Structure 1
């Protein structure tokens, strides 16, 4: 399956190169095929679409602790999205694992939404809790290969729960309650619950920018131990800003994680610049600090170095990434490449990891 998927990626890139600057309607037609049925006035079913994504990436790690390299089928997901009369939407996605040859590895999401207007909606199922500006973005929207380490460590998984979204004027908000026990199917409330609240304010009109918003996210553990659906902290707070003006973009986020284990702080600074309508330059800076060794090393791809301990933990972490994205068809089909540097110190200043990683890959979704 690995060879087949990589050949498919090469064919996509080759077809794009052969088409040169041909009209973008070609891609519009291709991406319209997964929409199998549409009838805005249907008495029951109004839309039925296939959805999916494939992300392939290559890594080359060169560190003080050793080297590693390889390919990863980063994400393979497929599913359906439907709309029904009565403002009801339903979607489901399955995660596949090409390395294990599994077409069904886990149920990724299962969401039923009632949306009577653009100002209010209620969702039920296995949902992504709305926490952190970075985590809230779908993987195909990310400007970098991976999210910031502390976001990836603290964020909640897709969990069983109920969420309510609302909007009034320039404000929009979200509240939800979720089961704390993640598993490969629906998950459960066997080890208690998580409570999540999010508030965002749109500053676009006041600033005159193309996009400007500030956002505060709060996630609280109910105190029962043994949760598998999130990081080890009880209280996770994220304050962020997302700005865009012409070709220049900026996302910043401050994290405070506390309770159960030592308080940990994180800072992310991510400017971007559109060199052309298709080529984008991205800088990603991230730092994390704690008084104890509660920050875990990055699964991608520091843990691929065989000489590292199985669970490398540190107190201080610094990260810098510089990348270039070529958006063949927006975020639906793009090529990515970049280089990153990461350094982590453990207790008494001992080095856990220090090294460089080169990355390249393709992201495709419909």
Structure 2
């Protein structure tokens, strides 16, 4: 009997978490016990204590350190570093709209995990997703499970479940985003976390990435039975040319899906494009992006722009953030409101679909402990136009607040 397509790859990827545990497990501990950290050194012939010692400045000072979460480090051994990771985001949203009001508190993200660096150039990272779609704390699959190989300082390979990089805003980790929620069009056309392979090269001022991913979405590892989608991006740092700017980066993104009927890891757009720029000068930053998506399987085309300027009011502590976004489609119901938090409107019909959307966001971002602990608050006015009057129009103001913690 022939094994299902992709089953061997899928089986190998499912072993990644077990491999990570096996690399670090020093013999057989007693029931209910974890191996003591010092035993890790004995297991691999390390005759000195290399565990990270707590700092003298207390917990808060330690939290700001790059070593926070590092349990073990030895540059000379087969296991170079073992660390714990966590991302925890709690959010509150209050909607005031012409179709009713609503509010919601949720655990937006809760992703504990572990990272193991070994044999100098290899890294295994596994993170669980403990925040479900309803904002409750429940196991909801694996957020990531990948093996990375660093062939050189300029070339890296990544195999497993990961974030396919399309669009500047989607590729930016949530802890680094100056806004609380990503824009409507990015949310509508971006891929989900998927299983595949990606290659990153960044020689000099250039940066290039390409990836191929399974088209079926799975909470854990894909089944490889619903086609494929592909991403590519190319970037260049122009700072050496335009020296007036401290940073000036241009990135071009592309995504293609093969149109398989079972492809649910990416929305039905045959070709998607993005052109993005980031600039920085003293206390001012600007991220701008243009997006275009070529619809398929009955989905209309869509395009849009967004501009996100940021002003640093207090050096390293407090940012003032503004974002403007606009999106449009060439067909009926080609845009869809975000489930978070527009669907709180009790009299919203037709799943919040329309043809033109515009929104303005203004907020503050307070760095309590650098980028490790951040508090955010802001308001966004948004308007969805429904030219066919089938219930998707919405004129609303949303107040948002969030607390983000990661290491």
Distance 1:188 1:290 in 2: 33
Please, which of 89, 93, 99 is the counterpart of residue 55 of structure 1?
Answer: 89
What TM-score do you get using the length of structure 2 for normalisation? 0.81
Please, which of 262, 280, 286 is the counterpart of residue 244 of structure 1?
Answer: 280
User: Once the two structures are superposed, what CA deviation does each residue of 1:223-262 show, in whole Å capped at 9, x if it has no partner?
Assistant: 2223111122111101000111111000000001003022
Please list, as runs of the form range in 1=range in 2, the aligned pairs for 1:1-366 lying within 5 A after superposition.
Answer: 27-30=60-63, 31=65, 32-42=67-77, 44-97=78-131, 102-208=137-243, 209-260=245-296, 261-277=299-315, 278-292=317-331, 293-309=333-349, 311-348=351-388, 352-366=393-407
Distance 1:24 1:309, change over 3 A: farther
User: What's the secondary structure of 2:288's corresponding residue?
Assistant: strand
Q: How many residues align?
A: 343
Q: Tell whether the 8 Å contact from 1:192 to 1:227 is kept in structure 2 after alignment.
A: yes
User: What's the secondary structure of 1:105's corresponding residue?
Assistant: coil
User: What's the secondary structure of 1:191's corresponding residue?
Assistant: coil
Distance 1:210 1:47 in 2: 33
What TM-score do you get using the length of structure 1 for normalisation? 0.90
Distance 1:207 1:271 in 2: 19
Q: Tell whether the 8 Å contact from 1:316 to 1:346 is kept in structure 2 after alignment.
A: yes
Q: Tell whether the 8 Å contact from 2:107 to 2:137 is kept in structure 1 after alignment.
A: no
State which structure, 1 or 2, has the greater radius of gyration over its C-alpha atoms. Answer: 2
User: Once the two structures are superposed, what CA deviation does each residue of 1:158-209 show, in whole Å capped at 9, x if it has no partner?
Assistant: 1010001112221110011000111111123211000111100111111222
Distance 1:100 1:304, change over 3 A: closer
Quote the offset at 1:102 in angstroms. 4.7
Single out whichever of 122-131 and 304-313 deviates more from structure 2: 304-313
Q: Tell whether the 8 Å contact from 2:108 to 2:131 is kept in structure 1 after alignment.
A: no
Quote the offset at 1:69 in angstroms. 1.1
Quote the offset at 1:26 in angstroms. 5.7
Q: Which has the higher strand share?
A: 1
Q: Tell whether the 8 Å contact from 2:226 to 2:263 is kept in structure 1 after alignment.
A: yes
Distance 2:292 2:273 in 1: 5
Q: Tell whether the 8 Å contact from 1:53 to 1:75 is kept in structure 2 after alignment.
A: yes
Distance 1:82 1:310, change over 3 A: farther
